[in-house]
Chain A
């Protein structure tokens, strides 16, 4: 076909069109994946809302018998899990993140579109795993933070906690995958000229959020793996009788859990920072401070986990430290609130529904933040923790905060996503009902907390001063449910009769409004060049400060681009199959049917291999993409680096647990059993293998594929020798000394830590062998040295972890009595 340049609009087809159901199942387009996340999350929101209504109905009267204690406990637990992991996170990062990141930074898709689809399918199956209790055995019932040792098999014999454990493990995999993907996308795929300080605030908030996800989720994963082992393999990670402490779970959980709070609120900040400037007709006030505030909040969020544990008796030093770090968060949060207020100040305000939700967010979030200042002070917290004032606090932050931000974003972006306008009248009905009902439900919970009502109680005695407010809150909670009816009507009306949306219905400021509505599959016919913050506004009106009433620059002239030349990656069924494989493994574990586990594992491996063959140009660096990228690095390399960052936290948690537990261990086995001469030898071998890896890469880079292959085989061989040493060591401990896996705290922590490292080495050896085979068949060359380099990054990381383990576990062993 002759490459005759045509106007972009002639070729435009919306991303929503075509493909049918199979197209949606195999899609790897970020906008379609966003819609999948959105629809799934809305379904779970209805489910979580139903649970909330049941819980509120039970609490309507003292000594009520609407729900049994067991059902109530399942419902409040699942309500929390659902709203956090299946509603707020997938809506904020899954829906808004997926939809907006490429559009706002001027990219055609995320860095790894297939990985993106895989994240969604794993998320969906994780969500199903978490909710399997509806079908069999009962929903999770240990509270969303599932405190050990109540979650041990002895105290919770049913499958409830297994659904919790495996569901969250699977969801964690999905979250880390999409975080990695978004991180690389934002770092590497921004349009030319889109420097860090020209990025929209939403992109900043997502960037910081995904860093939090990468570095926080491994801690939860480790906690869940320990719980899994306690429940399935009879280890003692949270069992007092073996010298362990259930407080370990609280540390691992909250090191994840507090950053998790910001994972849920930072994207909300980002959405608000998009909506408020548009409808105030002014640029965001104090943009640099807003960015620094987000970074400061994220940084501090790692140092405050202990404020969830003031009542556990951590001692005065920990109490003071965590109290002060928690109070410090008030400063960057205050900066954000005042900057939003002063963005409104002096603006030309347009009170659309989206704007109203955003404004309500600012005040409601302030209330939630201020009550947070109370709990940051341990003397107050010792009266208030685990009471309804905490329930009020986090519902103000997440319900009246994050959810309101999501609704603001929903009304704002609906035209861009669907191509139709919503009814403002119905929207305002929704807004006023929501503002009334949410506040009327949750504000009096402060009073209940002051009157001492503990959270998570399914019943209470009359005459505690709680009767009136509980009844009041329940009636208002029903109004919350009703407040969503105008929204549903609005969606229905918009999809059937709604006015067609233009490209830029709100006179907005950022790049996503410059593309057709709904966007074509390739987003930008021509990748824009960015010269300033609020790039689209500048393109329309000439400068960021422009009033927006008179166009000082000509409207963007339609570019002449042949869109048929734009490379769109092909759809793939394998992400769905891999998701099914992971689901099958979790399911097999739950029903204890090992054949299911191995079949599912086979499906997973098959799909992974099949997907690998979908890349004809694997391992080849795209010089054009690298030159355009901000770091000058290939995206795959950045991806591996961020994966390594996440793995570091994973091993840090395992190593810390080992260090803490080895001194608490009871019984005969201790670090004295370790064979240092043997391990020194295998350490030497593993370190040497890193050297061979370097030689292999160097050989491939100078296109010497013979020696490259030889060095690769050498690296794999040395890895095998290391693994052989480990197998011998484990066998010696097990068979000669009788140190079984769960003999005592030392044995289980040692086997888990060293075993996980060994598993990483095993994966590395398999990877190296695949590479070596590619080398033997002549498929590796200088052009594909990137593949060797990424494999090498992983291999060096695994070696470095071993150096740390060797020093801390082997060389620094302290033997009791020695």
Chain B
């Protein structure tokens, strides 16, 4: 078997140009070390570290395979092809050795991926919880997140605090449709399914603020269903818990006091709880429930963590929820002017 050998300058130029282009595109990949709110390449828990390690392994395998394939491709096109007008010197139809090779080599790669995969699955599922594990109940709603701490009774929305270096069990259910709880740095994602309790068990290893978002399409405002996870030191976490358990502020005079009256009179109190002031069973609200507002003023974001918690944004939101978050279940109450300002002042005072 003789190999016809030929190099054509024009083709070399074309293919090296294309290869350079490909490399430059790959080179545009996010440089290591950068950290963005939702990036999946900055693991901050043992769990996501394991995910990341397998990701790196498979990426390396993928790149090697791609290089081999592209190399054969380029060689076949540039070098080992017969000149037009010449007869093909060999009409190679089959080769037992080669064909065995490309059955066996992918098989080895598959095993190389399967072993750490299976190992990780076995070691991360099913979960083992110790008495020290902190359970956080995640309740998904269209389109916001409710967090409950059964051990302390804290209820909050869109912002969850967890202590560092302690095992956390996120126990997740949905009130309506299927959502997905995605916090890339800490726990990857897990669907939140109505009628089925799913779990993410993790131990965060670095204090800080992390972002998350719903990743299963859940209706009009699927894009507007974000949340934040605060990994606190144990002291910060205890302080935060204590604050959350404290009674809400009761403004007695000024704009905020007027706002408190509006809150109680307007339909707000039907869906929203402010401990000691309102809090009806969801059966009176056709199944809808709004976030617990007892310590609303202490949160950094509103409306599914899509806006900063500023009086202007809050006014915008209450004035016309549907404009901020299409399809929102919160009704437009027609509040404006003085009443709106008073309500905003009251809510912002609920530190």
| Residues of A bordering B, CB below 8 Å | 68-70, 73, 142-143, 147, 149-150, 155-156, 240, 244-247, 281-289, 311-313, 315-316, 319-320, 323-324, 327-328, 330-331, 334-335, 337-339, 341-342, 344-350, 359, 362-363, 366-367, 370-371, 373-374, 376-380, 382-387, 439-440, 443-444, 446-447, 449-461, 463-465, 544-550
Contacts and interface: CB of A to CB of B under 8 A. Distances in A.
B335 interface: no
Contacts of A312: 191, 193, 198
Contact of A331 (B95, B106, B122, B124): B106
Contact of B88 (A150, A247, A284, A348): A348
A335 B102 contact: yes
B300 interface: no
A287 B94 contact: yes
Contact of A459 (B52, B85, B218, B223): B223
**Interface-central residue, A156, A331, A544, A545, by most chain B CB under 10 Å:** A331
A105 B105 CA distance: 35
B115 to A, nearest CB: 10
Nearest to B212: A452
Contacts of A440: 25
A379 B69 contact: no
Contacts of B117: 320, 323, 327, 377-379
Contact of B213 (A443, A451, A454): A454
Interface string B118-129: 101110111000
B165 interface: no
B70 A363 contact: yes
A387 B320 CA distance: 30
B59 interface: yes
Nearest to A446: B29
A466 B26 CA distance: 16
B189 A382 contact: yes
Interface string B166-198: 000000000011101010100011110111101
B37 A464 contact: yes
Nearest to A311: B191
**Interface-central residue, A320, A339, A550, by most chain B CB under 10 Å:** A320
Contacts of A284: 93
A377 B69 contact: no
Interface stretch (B71-79, B155-163, B240-248): B71-79
A461 B215 contact: no
17 contacts: A149-B194, A311-B180, A327-B110, A331-B110, A346-B92, A348-B82, A348-B83, A370-B65, A373-B61, A374-B62, A379-B117, A447-B30, A451-B36, A459-B224, A461-B306, A464-B36, A545-B91
Given A349-B81, A370-B66, A380-B54, A465 B36 contact: yes
A330 B113 CA distance: 11
Given A464-B37, A465-B30, 8 more contacts: A285-B94, A313-B199, A316-B121, A327-B110, A331-B110, A345-B81, A387-B40, A457-B223
A379 B120 contact: yes
**Interface-central residue, B77, B126, B142, by most chain A CB under 10 Å:** B77
Nearest to A385: B189
A316 B120 CA distance: 10
Given A366-B69, A443-B25, A456-B222, A324 B114 contact: yes
A546 B89 CA distance: 10
Contact of A547 (B88, B118, B190, B218): B88
Contacts of A247: 193, 196
Given A452-B184, A456-B222, A363 B73 contact: yes
A671 B88 CA distance: 72
A784 B33 CA distance: 78
A362 B76 CA distance: 13
A344 B76 contact: yes
Given A370-B62, A451-B40, A246 B194 contact: yes
A150 B77 contact: no
Nearest to A156: B219
A383 B91 contact: no
A143 B195 CA distance: 22
Contacts of A156: 219
A630 B30 CA distance: 58
B118 to A, nearest CB: 5
Interface string B36-76: 11111100000010111011001101100110011011011
A450 B178 contact: no
Interface in B270-322: 306
Q: Interface residues of B toward A: which range?
A: 35 or more
B149 interface: no
A330 B109 contact: yes
A534 to B, nearest CB: 10
Given A373-B62, A452-B38, A453-B38, A69 B189 contact: no
B252 interface: no
A243 to B, nearest CB: 8
Contacts of A345: 72, 75-76, 80-81, 92
Contacts of A550: 87
A246 B86 CA distance: 63
Contact of A454 (B39, B191, B214): B214
A439 B125 contact: no
B276 to A, nearest CB: 32
B62 A327 contact: no
B23 interface: no
A452 B36 contact: yes
B221 interface: yes
Contacts of A461: 37, 226, 306
Contacts of A339: 99
A348 to B, nearest CB: 4
Contacts of B142: 155
B51 A379 contact: yes
A156 B326 CA distance: 14
A456 B220 CA distance: 10
Contacts of A334: 102-103, 105-106
**Interface-central residue, A69, A147, A382, by most chain B CB under 10 Å:** A382
Contacts of A311: 180, 189-191, 216
Contacts of A458: 222-223
Nearest to A456: B217
B208 interface: no
A544 B93 CA distance: 9
A105 to B, nearest CB: 22
A348 B76 contact: no
Contacts of B28: 444, 447
A768 B39 CA distance: 65
B34 interface: yes
B4 interface: yes
Contacts of A283: 91, 93
B189 A331 contact: no
Contacts of B251: none
Given A327-B110, A344-B76, A451-B38, A70 B326 contact: yes
Contacts of B99: 286, 289, 335, 338-339
B176 A155 contact: yes
A544 B219 CA distance: 57
Nearest to B81: A349
Nearest to B110: A327
B132 to A, nearest CB: 23
A108 B76 CA distance: 39
